[in-house]
Amino acid sequence: MNGKIEALWGTLQAEVLDRQRFADIAAAEAAVVGYANYYNYHRLHGEIGWLTPAERHDGTPFSNRGFENIPPLRGAAELLADLLRAA
């Protein structure tokens, strides 16, 4: 169990806490709460068969498939469309 908690903490640190500065503790808390929602309902996890934790845990459907829902790939949809138009 500790390994999973450490992995989540590492992901939270890398994807939220190290990427921004917070004006106060309330702003940091809001960022963590927002990320928890993203992590559980919108972030696909390779370790659980590319499902979200909510899909795996209680069957909540993942309804926002697409590059725009994967932060590092948000620009990929536009780039792909440009490449297809140029082909």
Contact yes or no for 72/79 (Cβ under 8 A): no
Encode pLDDT of 39-77 as tens digits.
889 888 888 988 889 999 999 888 776 666 666 666 777
- Distance between CA 9 and CA 11 in Å, rounded? 5
Domain count, the chain: 1
- Distance between CA 2 and CA 7 in Å, rounded? 8
- Distance between CA 4 and CA 41 in Å, rounded? 18
Of all residues in the chain, what percent carry a pLDDT higher than 70? 87
Range of the domain at 65: 2-86
Number of H helices, E strands in the chain: 4, 0
